Amino acid sequence: MHIVTRPDGNALVVHVLESRIDAAVAIQFKDAMRARVAQAPERVVLDLSQVDFIDSSGLGAVVAMMKLLAPARRLELAGLTPTVEKVFRLTHMDRVFTIHPAPPAPPDPDRRCAG
Amino acid sequence: MTLHMNEQALDRTPDFHRHFQGRFLEVRGVLAELRGSLTRYGPVCCDVATTEIVLAEVLNNIVEHGYQGTAGPVELRVWADSAGLTFVVIDAGAPLPGGQPPARDARCLPDDPDALPESGFGWHLIHSLTEGLEYETQLGRNRLRGRVPAHRRHGGTRLS
């Protein structure tokens, strides 16, 4: 699971550098996220601009992450691609999350590392 | 392995037809092949993204609940035409509880984040994006048929 994190003010930006968050990787995604947000500040912004596809398992993993962070910290989403946006909309999860239309600045290439 | 059922087959050969083992990664591979295949029909037939959402849920349900991690045979047949896409999925795993797909629920989300569901989105997506779902189970075989219409009121993006 290729995930890169970057502090940004009072937020931790988490770039998911995978094309899919689906049933095949939902558990890995949750584990990787759990490790990275352990010390996160009050806001975690999940950059999904590289994710073309999410299924119900992936959606469940994102919801689980939001619940893990709550109530002290909140999970926000950014850069939803059309199919991902559709899945959030059809399940009404678009009303649950703060969703930023534009993706955050991409990760510094020098600091990229596989996770 | 072919799973034979007493089905009223559509009267022509499927446009896409695969037999595979019910594992998450195999589902991924089959969906990728289907995407490539559907792109040939372009805007005439299908919303490729919608089709992938639906079939990912249908097939992963079989892997997770039908076979419960012990991979078994799955057959996918797809017919594409100007009205949309018809799929038939056959497996030999555990049948759906109650012998039918879960009823469509009008999901009301709780205000308390702790009470938010982390699962159960799959059938909601399938119901939202398909029509004419038919399920039957007999002689250890389960068969789900449904249609992804070409024009959705949800206005999905169409691949050109």
- Chain A interface includes B13 (CB < 8 A): no
Number of domains in chain B: 1
User: Is position B132 within any domain?
Assistant: yes
- Chain A interface includes B60 (CB < 8 A): yes
Q: What CATH number corresponds to the domain at position B31?
A: 3.30.565.10
Distance between CA atoms of B153 and B160, rounded to whole angstroms? 19
Distance between CA atoms of A103 and A95, rounded to whole angstroms? 18
pLDDT tens track for A55-77: 999 999 999 999 999 999 999 99
Q: What is the pLDDT of residue B112?
A: 76
User: Is position B33 within any domain?
Assistant: yes
Q: What ipTM was assigned to the predicted interfaces of this complex?
A: 0.89
Under the banding of pLDDT at 50, 70 and 90, the label for residue B157 is: very low
Q: What is the pLDDT of residue B153?
A: 46
- Name the interface residues of A facing B (CB cutoff 8 Å): 20, 22-24, 53, 55-57, 59-61, 63-64, 66-67, 70-71, 82-83, 86-87, 89-92, 95-96
A-contacting residues of B 18-47, CB under 8 Å?
24-25, 27-28
| Beta partners for residue A7, in sequence order | A12
Query: CATH homologous superfamily for A3-42+49-111?
Result: STAS domain (3.30.750.24)
The ranges assigned to domains in chain A are 3-42+49-111
Q: Which amino acid is at B98?
A: G
Range of the domain at B40: 16-105+120-149
pLDDT tens track for B64-113: 999 998 999 999 999 988 888 999 999 999 999 999 998 877 666 777 77
- Chain A interface includes B156 (CB < 8 A): yes
User: Is position B4 within any domain?
Assistant: no
Distance between CA atoms of B113 and B89, rounded to whole angstroms? 35
